[in-house]
Amino acid sequence: MQFKKIIPAIVYTGTALSISLGSLSLPSLEGPLIISGLKPAFAQQKGESKLKYNEKTDPLKAGPGIKALAKKAKRGDSLGDLGNAKRLFELLQAGKPGGIKVADSGDVPTTAEETLKNGGDCSGIANAVMAALNEMKIESGIIILDLGKGLLHVLAYAEIDGKRYLMDPQLDSFGKGGAQLPSGKMLVFTYEEAKRGIKKSASFVRETPFEKARGSYHFEWGSYFEGKGEYMEAIAAFRNALKLDSGDVIAQRKLKAVSSGLFNQLMAKADKAIKAKEWNKAAELNEKALEFIPEHLGEKGKAQLRENIAYCREKMAEESK
């Protein structure tokens, strides 16, 4: 029996946000206002993480802060949902007394309650808006935009009487959202403009209703760990994201890419272990690789890995005699 080193056809390079969105890019439109100066979607940071990921975290759970905010915003049924949503927007506006704080979370996703207390980036702010709207019995969700150069931007919306209103506390206008481009310029647009895509600037990726939006939080954890090269943690987070929102195409692609990356790492380590005649270690690495073998290697690839394991076990038995 001979050890067989499997080289996958896809070699993952670790560029975490450089995903080709392909057919997800939609036709764009003329006419968004371009200004400058709002907080950008954050970029990834390299280096090992010391943070712990909890797959059971509900980013949209209303804690004491969110409940108090929702109660303050909901001034009565006489104003209706639209009036109450506008009041919530006013209370959250960044830069105003008591408003939400726009902060760089260092790529670490934040829950609604964490964002309300300590501030957060675009996704954390969206979580806070959605959690408060849900507490007020107003339907909500998020939209995701591709800003180019690997940057994705998240905005919350309120759905009232069949119409969707973007709620971006970084802006002064209810019903509009903002997105900072890699160039530093800022786009301001309505939900309808974002849905059609913004010419040469940003493309609409997807929309997610409240009941599935929790997946976005876990998706961001996956991207965070991916950027750190911590593939096991990234895979766990992406898998959890897909449990919550199975239609997330980007999470599907990322999970495949990261799984391929981890598989490559395991096989490289297994090859080193074989050369060093560390048979037990090599067998364990091949067993682990079986969990993450890329789909394109199919049953043939799995069979080869099992042969590798058997070969290592045979060598171990020979040396123990």
Q: Can you spell out the DSSP letters for 50-119? A: -----TT--TT---HHHHHHHHHH---TTSHHHHHHHHHHHHH-TTSTTPPPB---TT----HHHHHHH-
Distance (Å, rounded) from C-alpha 126 to C-alpha 108? Answer: 14
Average pLDDT over residues 79-86: 93
Average pLDDT over residues 32-39: 33
Report pLDDT for 104.
Answer: 80
- Percent pLDDT > 70 in the chain is 83
Pick from 94-108, 134-148, 303-317: least confident: 94-108
CA distances 110 to 61, 124, 161, Å, are 12, 5, 30
User: Mean pLDDT for the chain?
Assistant: 84
Name residue, tokens 């199975």. Answer: 246
Tell me the pLDDT band of 314, cut-offs 50, 70 and 90. Answer: very high
Ordered strands of the 33-36 beta sheet? 33-36, 185-190, 176-180
48 C-beta neighbours (distance < 10 Å), count: 7
User: Can you give the pLDDT at residue 45?
Assistant: 42
Please report which confidence band the pLDDT of residue 36 belongs to, taking 50, 70 and 90 as the band edges.
Answer: very low
pLDDT of residue 7: 46
- pLDDT for residue 22: 28
pLDDT > 90? residue 192: yes
Q: Which pLDDT score, from 0 to 100, does residue 52 have? A: 82
Query: Has residue 47 got a pLDDT over 70?
Result: no
**11 has pLDDT over 80:** no
Cα separation, 228 vs 54, whole angstroms: 17
Q: Which one is predicted more confidently, 305 or 50?
A: 305
How many CB atoms neighbour CB 143 within 10 A? 21
Residue 33 has pLDDT above 70, yes or no: no
The token pair that represents 191 in the structure block:
């939900």
Report, as an integer, the average pLDDT of 244-260.
94
Give the span between the Cα atoms of 206 and 143, in whole angstroms: 6
pLDDT of residue 48: 53
pTM exceeding the 0.85 threshold for the entire prediction? no
CA dihedral 110, 114, 115, 120 (to 10 degrees): -50
What integer pLDDT is reported at residue 2 of this predicted model? 53
Least confident of 75-79, 102-106, 154-158, 316-320: 75-79
pLDDT at 191: 96
**For range 23-35, the mean pLDDT:** 30
**CA 24, CA 195: separation in Å to the nearest integer?**
12
pLDDT at 234 over 60: yes
pLDDT band at 4 (very low <50, low <70, confident <90, very high): low
What pLDDT score was predicted for residue 6?
Answer: 52
Mean pLDDT of 201-227: 94
